Structure 1
């Protein structure tokens, strides 16, 4: 476990980064994403922070908090519903029109639901879009800006930052005896949807897509994190969710990570040199984490709530051995081509 004091000391030293770090927070008006955005405001100089979400009221509150913490912060709210990939493309285009580089892409969108498959106008399940497709579309669209940040000659090489963080759970598919497998014949779950299968697919496809991006884009690092239990209000979309949250929160509080601590720990995951891009991690000695594929400094890391990487898992290794990275990336690019480029529904 990375001691909280170590995390806090690292974060406090982020003032050494060049002023004007640019960060995008998808799902950024509440919960872990907002807590991490507030930590960025607290620990960096003149950050430009984009919050992407649905609620203008929540965004106004978030922005006021940021400006109180750091008057030099430059927060911007971009309102959209990212359950449609066309909206992801629009908001990414808006960011690209304003920025020449991006240091951090931080993503937490998702929701709890008791519904079955809930298909959007684009032919994809809404939960799977929020937990997987929309996140990876942000990655694909914003990688040119992330690459530009990694190669920014105006910034000292030791202070450059180019990182993607997706918060979900790298190991959810193997918890409680799960199989850790993917249905390669129906990756979009068009025909075999269940809530349990959707959770497993979103997690595993996120694992392997980010691993593929780390191979293709060696100057950006990719982190998939497990937040553990955090009091974020995520139950609000369930029937009686607000009532259940009010009842359960006091009972579970001793087992939950405080939301501000979660933000500090996720800022550590988003900026620490323990998780370098592949181009910097090859052959590096010292405190560099083992990547998701078992190689030290591989550029893709599956990280637990406490800052430590997950150990190797036989089930996930078997799935990787079935060409999971290639198949997941190929499938995802096919979805993007059909839905985003051709304007059709999938499949």
Structure 2
């Protein structure tokens, strides 16, 4: 496991490297979808800390949290230009609306950081677009944004700058999925949905890394971090989870570690990576078990494209 002190040292070194291309006229652009709390928020702070001229886009539903974060980013680095975008990322149309704004405002993107999500005990809950809300926010809307913004991320890579996409979720939980019910309209459970969107994220990371070899694609697990993600659980479950907090990482330290894989370390600059919070690679085991085959990659991505079309058709109605 790479120690926190080694991570901090490497992050500080990367700041000196970023100076070579980050200027007032060529800022380093970071997008944090799900950046109003927890890991996304603290990784945005690290991005501002180590980047001389950062342009940061924060995406979330809580405008008050967005305002607070923008103010803190400015105190961390007065050169920061930060924007809050209020969007409900359980909806594909909202992912498209946000992407359109970025495409109009930016010429490149150096980091697309995706950490949207929530925990709940309720069963399948469809959005107005016909997708389960947890599957939408943990997979479909994330990769809709990726698909939309890839031209800008490619531009950063072509400039020989850092260009990475990080999806924060649960690598290591991949497994067999229901090929006859990929969106789990008929076989939904918390276990099934977790397995599906975890598997789908890893498949997408491997597929897109092959198509865009100059970009780094990561599916990264956070480990146990002191965030407020269990806020919607009943009190007795939150109470039972308290002992785990003894082993939890501070959000600030998690932000440093995620900046390390997002921009700091050269190890993840290109290729596909599925890693734990301690940077242990999990991809080899998934490949060995047959969870990341080219056939699965294409089947799931074709399904994903069909879901995008169906969701937008319902939105247009």
Report the 3-state secondary structure (helix = DSSP H, G, I; strand = E; otherwise coil) of the residue aligned with 1:301.
strand
Equivalent residue number for residue 203 of structure 2: 208
Unpaired runs of 5+ residues, structure 1, are 174-179, 278-298
Distance 2:88 2:143 in 1: 15
Aligned partner of residue 123 in structure 2, secondary structure: coil
Note the C-alpha offset of 1:316. Answer: 6.1
C-alpha contact 1:49 1:75 (8 A) present in aligned 2: yes
The two structures, once aligned, show a CA RMSD in angstroms of 1.8
**Residues 1:257 and 2:249 aligned together:** yes
What's the offset of the Cα at 1:251? 3.2
Q: Distance in 1 between matches of 2:314 and 2:295?
A: 28
Q: For this pair of structures, how many residues does the alignment match?
A: 307
TM-score (normalizing by structure 1): 0.84
Query: How far 1:14 moved relative to its partner?
Result: 2.7
Correspondence for 1:170: 171
Cα distance in 1, alignment partners of residues 255 and 261 from structure 2: 10
How far 1:255 moved relative to its partner? Answer: 0.9
1:314 to partner: Cα distance: 6.0
1:126-275, aligned counterparts within 5 Å? 126-152=133-159, 157=160, 160-173=161-174, 180-240=175-235, 245=238, 247=239, 251-271=243-263, 272-275=265-268
CA distance in 2: counterparts of 1:311 and 1:103, whole angstroms: 24
Task: Return closer, same or farther for 1:314/1:208 CA change in 2, 3 Å cut-off.
Answer: closer
Determine which of 125, 147, 157 is the counterpart of 1:118.
Answer: 125
Q: 1:58 to 1:244 in 2, by over 3 A?
A: farther
**CA distance, structure 1, for counterparts of residue 207 and residue 113 of structure 2:** 18
Q: Normalization by structure 2: what TM-score?
A: 0.92
- How far is 1:43 from its partner? 1.0
**34-43 vs 249-258, which moves further:** 249-258
Q: Per the alignment, do residues 70 and 133 of structure 1 end up closer, same or farther by CA in structure 2, a change over 3 Å counting?
A: same
- SS for the counterpart of 1:328 is helix
Give the whole-Å Cα distance in 1 for the aligned partners of 2:67 and 2:247: 31
- Provide the rounded CA distance (Å) in 2 between the counterparts of 1:165 and 1:322: 21
Distance 1:326 1:137 in 2: 16
